[in-house]
Amino acid sequence: MKKRYLLIAALLSLTLVYPASNYFTPSDEAVSPYISMTKADSLEYAFASWSERHVANGGDKNVVMSLGWSKGLSVEHTYAKGKARLDLIDGKVQVEVEGLADSEISEVWLVDNLNDSSVLPETEDNYLHVGTLVSEGDRAVLSADVGNAFGMFEVDLIVVSRAGQAPVESRVLVGSSSLMQRMYTRVRSGRVPFEGQEPGTVLAALGALGTQPVFASDLVPSFDPLIEQGADLFFNETFAGNGRTCGTCHPAEHNFTIDPEFIATLPDDDPLFVAEFVPALMSNFEKPELMRKVGLILENTDGFGDLANSFTMRGVPHTLAMGNALTPGADGTTTPPDERTGWSGDGSPGSGTLREFAIGAVTQHFPQTLGRTPNVDFRLPTDAELDAMEAFQLFLGRQDELDLSTLALSSEVAARGQEIFVAADSVGGTVAAGKCNTCHFNGGANFALTGGFENRNFNTGVEDLPDQPADLVDAANNPPDGGFGRVPNPNGGFGDGSFNTPVIVEAADTGPFFHNNSVETVEGAVAFYNSDAFNNSPIGQFLVSVDSGGVGIDLEATQVVAVGAFLRVINALENNRSANETATFVKDVNDFATAQSLLGLAFAEVEDAIEVLDGGGLHPAAVKDLKAAKTSLEIAAITGIPFFRDLFIDIALDFIEDADQDILA
């Protein structure tokens, strides 16, 4: 240990003699400073795995797309929803819609966006009129044969419009396919999956089911160009709006979320505060006091028809490990959404996919006026931009779940917290059962009781907590949040009262907690599950019903601390993994500015691990090692000689490994 500290001191004195510019040369194409936050081949593996599952479900003969009201694309509001089933091989289309009160909403169109200016249907685009919906009781259905149209036609959107009107004029229900589906169909058809991908490296059919290829993970398209484009869009593109970007609310340097502490560091002219200095946005766009004091952002989740009264105030969820949190549960509520997005699990417009999330986000948060008119107050992303941003978001953070059955921790307190977290039954009240693993299987977002692991929504009673910070600050501007769906809730707001289950490996350093930022600390979040609000909620009562002793969640103060310690430790391990991966990647980077930016991200991850462990009084030896790692990364970031920079990185990685060894048994 002493040798490493002496080496740092000696090399620091040597390093400062040489200016960085003398030894680093900018590359022709600097690597995006955000490309390294996980392995670049992870999405390629995910694509290969997705393709195999797609083939097993019928492949491109069975492409299912949901239809719904789209915050960014629909020109009128409806509560109707539906589903389309496309056979892209034999040219068959089936559509079924529920809840259409107006029979004039009846025409079904497919849109191939040829004009690269916007995802919005425009005159120059290709349109295929599939047919007219026919009423059958409370449903409206359509079955059509479009022949070989799909051979030269890419389905970017499916639109249900008013009778006699094309999608340029009328869009009531809208849906689109996911990134993986779009890539698969392009590869199957022998087309380039996205700009920047070499055609000759794309198609690799190793087996077949009918006409559907199966892909080898090492021969599928490289997603690197798409991810880099998505990173640039995420952090830099304002979409001709009010100056905000996706990174305004999801900054990489703060774990892709914001809280009051971070907000307080921003200058008053930061785009986050446009409601304070842009006259057209000073009313009904944000609630500045709730933003600054509680970290809440205004969302018109139920449409823009009544801006003064129809809104909710929500925290900003981080966007890490989203690939582990999108699969909707088989609970009858997801037709659409096809994926769980946002706090309520229905945060995305149209078919509810992550790809479409940007459409709603730009429409909600980026406009110059409350008119929110596309191509006037902002521009909507193109299809290519939506693909890139989806790829980048899927790329962020962990790609795999933990395995709590094999994870061994050295801290007795954290290990006890792990036991409580996993325990599902109280055995007559003699064993502390946190039952956490039921809804957060392996620390993820998946419900485990059904045999499969799926993301679900639950009504946990968070809205019933007394003395919520937002109410104490400004109750008049904090209306009830109805959660999932857009039907009136008897308790106020719109929705069925349920909210989406988040991943919790990253929880300890991404608070405040819950959709309304009602709890500040991770221990406070654990203690919530002891509350009357939770135990009287639908999911709280369900947990009582499946417990052999009829016990819900009833943890003593020391047990709350133990579960909190467990969550802090797994968060720190994830911080270390991310820091390790980012710093290792820097060793292949020649551009000095990019290397500095990446090392800054690795530094921030190590700093988070220190804060998370220190906050629980955990692993002082590991904290000491991580502080040394932080110093090494800081030196590496200013080091002018690549050889010495990489040496400091290796020293930092050595310290991080020592910290992990202290944490793990």
pLDDT tens-place string over residues 351-377: 788 988 899 999 999 999 999 999 999
Predicted pLDDT of residue 513: 97
For residue 652, is pLDDT > 90? yes
Predicted pLDDT of residue 477: 96
> Could you tell me if 609 and 572 are in contact, meaning their C-beta atoms sit under 8 angstroms apart?
yes
For residue 39, is pLDDT > 90? no
As a whole-number percent, the residues of the chain with pLDDT over 70 amount to 88
> Could you tell me if 176 and 65 are in contact, meaning their C-beta atoms sit under 8 angstroms apart?
yes
Give Cα separations from 59 to 87, 194, 214, 219, 352 (angstroms): 9, 20, 10, 19, 21
Each residue's pLDDT tens digit, 193-231:
776 655 333 333 323 323 344 444 344 567 778 888 898
Predicted pLDDT of residue 145: 96
Which three-class secondary structure state does DSSP give residue 476?
Answer: helix
Using pLDDT thresholds of 50, 70 and 90, give the confidence band for residue 589.
confident
User: Which two structure tokens, joined as six digits, stand for 493?
Assistant: 């707001």
Q: What is the residue-wise DSSP string for 369-413?
A: STT--BTTTB-PPPHHHHHHHHHHHHHSS-SS---TTT--BS-HH
How far is residue 566's CA from residue 130's CA, in Å, rounded to a whole number? 54
Beta bridge partner(s), residue 91: none
Predicted pLDDT of residue 523: 97
> Model's pTM, two decimal places?
0.90
As a whole-number percent, the residues of the chain with pLDDT over 90 amount to 58
